[in-house]
A and B are shown apart, each in its own frame.
Chain A
């Protein structure tokens, strides 16, 4: 009697688990209409660029679930299924998505067009822990040295180039709508140019020229473009916690430079930034690296340009430009 009761319990439990597992996962912006190009993007900026360039002719999916921090993301079986059904897969660069190489191997010979959006971008190379501008990457997207800062989209000239790369991929796969793609891309490039101009003007007359970030090393490209010095508490590697001396050094620097503001990043806990702020009396300002957006931001229809405009606002406060 007791044995069969236990068996029933297990059967029911198994049935529940199977039913739960078969529920399809929600992705951001996933639709299922025929006749459109199916595009999968690995990162939010690519997603935003692609949906702008593609307009109504493409069906875009962002691989990252909302609110998820991308540096330790790995695609799961369900993601592979999504990719297998797509026409185009866009990724940022091999430093941001080291797993893209595996996708290449896994989908070799299939009809999936894999787009390295960072090809031809102007990379910031890493030389022994510090970042130095080592010039453009070659045609295959390779940079010599230990690696590079993956956050290329935060330099708007890189962003423009990425828009072009995406446009060309769309045209390759869907030449019928080539004109639409070109028009959309050009409009977006103009907006990026305008944004670039805004940044340039606004940041030229700031009292402070040093950005101190209590999070990871995200804004190297932005700092380079507008002639700012950029320091981050964490290194580029997502796992390395700052040591006591790192925190001491940053605290001293804030005091020395007379900086009243400290930046922190999106999605991740600002504990370290809070510690430094507490130590120095500085105020915290959030800068959004646009890797990924939260559920609320997704619902509000936030765009890349929105995020960058808000960033400019924060920078103007933080660097005491007004």
Chain B
């Protein structure tokens, strides 16, 4: 049994899945904490719908999907930011607009290109088993950028997320940092598409964050617990998908949810006792 557990590590595609997947799960969780606290939880959903449209576009043009998705999704996320800044359009409405336009464009493009095909489906549900070496490198570079940005601007991000007006009054360049976060989110969502697919990207952003919030002992604490939970769910998800012969993406999300339930239970029980 012991040998069997580690057997799956013998395969290159599993190792690449673990490597890229781990990095992506970490940054999704970190950004997820920020996004959920800003009531932008659905942005993962919205941007992944845009990703769908951009992938359809890429396929229609016969171009490598990631190359089209990155710029399109970045522009969309900045569009959401822009719309939210204008009075009268709140975050969720802005996301709704961008999200539905993304899907609609995707459907139209796919239809023009001749119909939905298998390849498009695989982007919907993730293709973590066919991560190439260059994609691992991309994941590494993006993850370093996200983690560095969050680390070096940690205090400012915390202040902005907690009380944007106070942050501005403190002299923090709020708009610049918000833009940075949106761009990083966009890029991260596009990468997450590889791991869990467009359908489940939102889960990878939101679930680890809410898991951490159940028993968080502070903001720093939440920012450590969320990525940890995410990483564990990814590694165990891939390992279990191998032993149970099930699709990895969905399994990762389910495990994330199990972690959430566990955290919720802990909080519930602790709360009961503290009466």
Contact = CB atoms under 8 A, between A and B. Distances in A.
Interface of A: 64-69, 71-74, 76, 216, 238-239, 241-248, 251, 267-269, 271-272, 274-275, 278-279
Contact of B119 (A73, A247, A269): A269
A251 B113 CA distance: 34
Chain B binding surface SS class: helix
Interface string B241-257: 11001111000000000
A251 B11 contact: yes
Nearest to B119: A269
B121 interface: yes
A269 B247 CA distance: 19
A72 B115 contact: yes
A72 B118 contact: yes
Closest 7 CB pairs of A and B: A68-B114, A271-B130, A69-B117, A244-B242, A65-B114, A275-B130, A245-B245
A181 to B, nearest CB: 31
A98 to B, nearest CB: 14
Given A244-B241, A244-B242, A239 B118 contact: yes
B121 A238 contact: yes
Interface residues of B, number: 28
Interface in B1-29: 8, 11-14, 17
A244 B118 contact: no
B238 interface: yes
A79 to B, nearest CB: 11
A267 B119 CA distance: 10
Contacts of A69: 114-115, 117-118
Interface of B: 8, 11-14, 17, 111, 113-119, 121-122, 125, 127, 129-130, 132, 238, 241-242, 245-248
B20 to A, nearest CB: 13
Chain A binding surface SS class: loop
Nearest to A69: B117
Contact of B8 (A64, A72, A241, A248): A248
A279 B12 contact: yes
28 contacts: A65-B114, A68-B114, A68-B115, A69-B114, A69-B117, A69-B118, A72-B116, A72-B117, A74-B115, A216-B118, A238-B118, A239-B121, A242-B129, A243-B129, A243-B241, A243-B247, A244-B129, A244-B238, A244-B241, A244-B248, A247-B13, A247-B129, A248-B8, A248-B14, A267-B117, A274-B132, A278-B132, A279-B13
B117 A241 contact: no
Contact of A248 (B111, B116, B118, B242): B242
A241 B13 contact: no
Nearest to A265: B118
A241 B122 contact: yes
